[in-house]
Amino acid sequence: MRTRVAIIGAGPAGMLLAHLLAAEGIESVVVETRSEEYVASRIRAGILEHSTVDLLRAAGLGERLDREGHEHRGIYLQWPEERHHLDFVDLTGRSVFVYGQTEVQKDLVAARRAAGQSVHYEVADTALHDLETDHPSVTFTDSTGRPRRLVADVVVGCDGSFGPSRGAVPASLRRTSERVYPYSWLGILADVAPSTDELIYAWHDDGFAMHSMRSATVSRLYLQVPNDTDVADWSDDRIWDALATRLGHGQDGWQLTPGPVTEKSVLPMRSFVQTPMRHGRLFLAGDAAHIVPPTGAKGLNLAVADVGLLAPALVDLLGRGDARLADAYSDTALRRVWRCTHFSWWMTSMLHRSGDDFDAQLQLSQLRWVTSSEAGATGLAENYAGLPIGM
Ligand SMILES: Cc1cc2nc3c(=O)[nH]c(=O)nc-3n(C[C@H](O)[C@H](O)[C@H](O)COP(=O)(O)OP(=O)(O)OC[C@H]3O[C@@H](n4cnc5c(N)ncnc54)[C@H](O)[C@@H]3O)c2cc1C
């Protein structure tokens, strides 16, 4: 098979890239190990930055987002006996949207299907070849068991944290930076109306807790737990009790309403960046190049931002023979990647209980500062609502 851009991974990065390229007349083929249904039903991110919403709207993907998504002006930050609202719109003029990654994925799949996008689901043995030539290729076994070779002008690795693309950059040329945190998140999805109008981020001596949501009837909640926690040790009652304590049930009359838990999983917390994000005719985008802990709600937004930079770079390279944006892609994307990596690390470090009483007092001091100083609050708001793509 021959195409212009071979895209590995049909997650949000891969499907959005295919969509943006097609809008400029550049053909692509996507290969994906999982089934379409599996990819669309993975419960992951839920907060879209201002720039992500702008990009999705500009790409013609904003219709259901505007109808069913919920615009939030800010978040609550709290610790025992205190809850403060940070209003991002007042502070920066920018808001965020609650709209699940599952919904973004469905919109992308529907748009690409309507346009006749070629996507090979349920492939195996994906491998990358000849990346330093002008005819790189991807080989795989398709869902019928047939070996295939896809020859392209460019290969883009959008295959997340476990795909083969990042390892295709020679070991002598790649650099990785990593931080593993000494705690994880136990996340639940519950069929119950959220007990809050906007997200609550709670510092507590027992550990961090967070109240998020996916819709008017579905809540998403998280608890800080030790690494290697077995989800079987956490009954629904134990989870709701811990959430009530950490989120301040009863504080100033606020009530946490429990409900049926429909999904429960443990998510380890990790920061990871691999550089450069380009090698020869291979480009990396999204989780294939970097992972952030979810505290700053940046993972999905960073994937979108990478693709927002890469699509015009590939259009210039393949459509006009102009390599300037493609040559600058890695450096440009990494400026934002490191900004978001710092913000995610900072939010994580400020809110998760770890260390001794000295650490706890520093965390509380930081929380008091960002909730009482306009300068502190604006810094958090600017990063959370999201800096412009290409900053
Ligand atoms: C369990 C979990 C929970 C998360 N929760 C949050 C959250 O609450 N908030 C937040 O902001 N972010 C969260 N994230 C991060 C966010 O979901 C990711 O940053 C986002 O999905 C990145 O999109 P992507 O397209 O780069 O990668 P992915 O969505 O991972 O897509 C990569 C795709 O590549 C495919 N693939 C892998 N290997 C191959 C191969 N060999 N051949 C072909 N295809 C392959 C995969 O099956 C996958 O579909 C979470 C991530 C995980 C894993």
Residue-range domains of the chain with CATH: 5-46+100-174+276-352 (3.50.50.60), 178-268 (3.30.9.10)
Q: How far is Cα 255 from Cα 308, in angstroms, rounded to an integer?
A: 41
Query: Could you identify the atom of ligand 1 that is nearest to the CA of residue 13?
Result: 25
For the chain, the helix, strand and coil percentages under 3-state DSSP, each to the nearest 5: 40, 25, 35
pLDDT reading at 321 higher than 80? yes
pLDDT value of residue 384: 97
Listing DSSP states for 16-44 in one string gives HHHHHHHHTT--EEEE-SS-HHHHHH---
pLDDT value of residue 7: 98
- Apex 288 CA angle, 287 and 290, nearest 5: 55
Q: Please, which pLDDT band fits residue 344 given cuts at 50, 70 and 90?
A: very high
83 phi and psi angles, rounded to 5 deg: -135, 130
Report CA(365)–ligand 1 centroid distance (Å). Answer: 34
pLDDT value of residue 390: 80
Substitution site in 300, 341, 343, 348 for ligand 1 pocket (most atoms within 8 Å of beta carbon) = 300
Q: Please, which pLDDT band fits residue 391 given cuts at 50, 70 and 90?
A: confident
For the chain, the straight-line distance linking the first and the last C-alpha, in angstroms and rounded, comes to: 37
Residues with CB under 6 A from ligand 1: 8-14, 31-34, 39, 44-46, 101, 123, 126, 158-160, 162-164, 267, 286-287, 294, 297-300, 303
Active-site residue set:
72, 201, 294, 298, 384
Instruction: Kindly give, in sequence order, each residue whose CB lies less than 8 Å from that of residue 282, ignoring residues fewer than 6 positions away.
Output: 128, 131, 136, 154, 155, 156, 157, 165, 168, 169
Please give the average per-residue pLDDT across 143-169, as a whole number.
Answer: 98
Name beta bridge partners: 290: 273
What are the pLDDT digits (tens) for 69-92? Answer: 999 999 999 999 999 999 999 999
What are the pLDDT digits (tens) for 259-316? Answer: 999 999 999 999 999 999 999 999 999 999 999 999 999 999 999 999 999 999 999 9
pLDDT value of residue 224: 98
Residue 44 and residue 185 in contact, taking contact as beta carbons nearer than 8 Å = no
pLDDT value of residue 75: 98
Mean of all residue pLDDT scores within the chain: 97
- Tokens read off for 19: 């969509």
Instruction: Kindly give, in sequence order, each residue whose CB lies less than 8 Å from that of residue 241, ignoring residues fewer than 6 positions away.
Output: none
Query: Could you identify the atom of ligand 1 that is nearest to the CA of residue 101?
Result: 17
Q: Among candidates 246, 282, 324, which has minimal Cα distance to 166?
A: 282
Distance, CA of 221 to chain centre: 17
- Tokens read off for 70: 């919920």
Pairing state between β 175-190 and 154-157: unpaired
Q: Among candidates 363, 304, 237, 256, which has minimal Cα distance to 55?
A: 304
Q: How far is Cα 348 from Cα 7, in angstroms, rounded to an integer?
A: 32
Q: How far is Cα 166 from Cα 254, in angstroms, rounded to an integer?
A: 46
- Tokens read off for 310: 């890469």
What are the pLDDT digits (tens) for 107-124? Answer: 999 999 999 999 999 999
Please give the average per-residue pLDDT across 332-359, as a whole number.
Answer: 97
Q: How far is Cα 360 from Cα 226, in angstroms, rounded to an integer?
A: 17
pLDDT value of residue 43: 84
Q: Which amino acid is at 144?
A: T
Report CA(375)–ligand 1 centroid distance (Å). Answer: 34
Report CA(11)–ligand 1 centroid distance (Å). Answer: 6
Report CA(356)–ligand 1 centroid distance (Å). Answer: 34
Measured in residues, the chain has a length of: 391
Percent of the residues in the chain that have a pLDDT greater than 70, as a whole number:
100
Q: Which amino acid is at 134?
A: D
Q: How far is Cα 76 from Cα 91, in angstroms, rounded to an integer?
A: 14
Residue 121 and residue 29 in contact, taking contact as beta carbons nearer than 8 Å = no
- Apex 216 CA angle, 215 and 220, nearest 5: 50
- DSSP summary character for residue 167: G
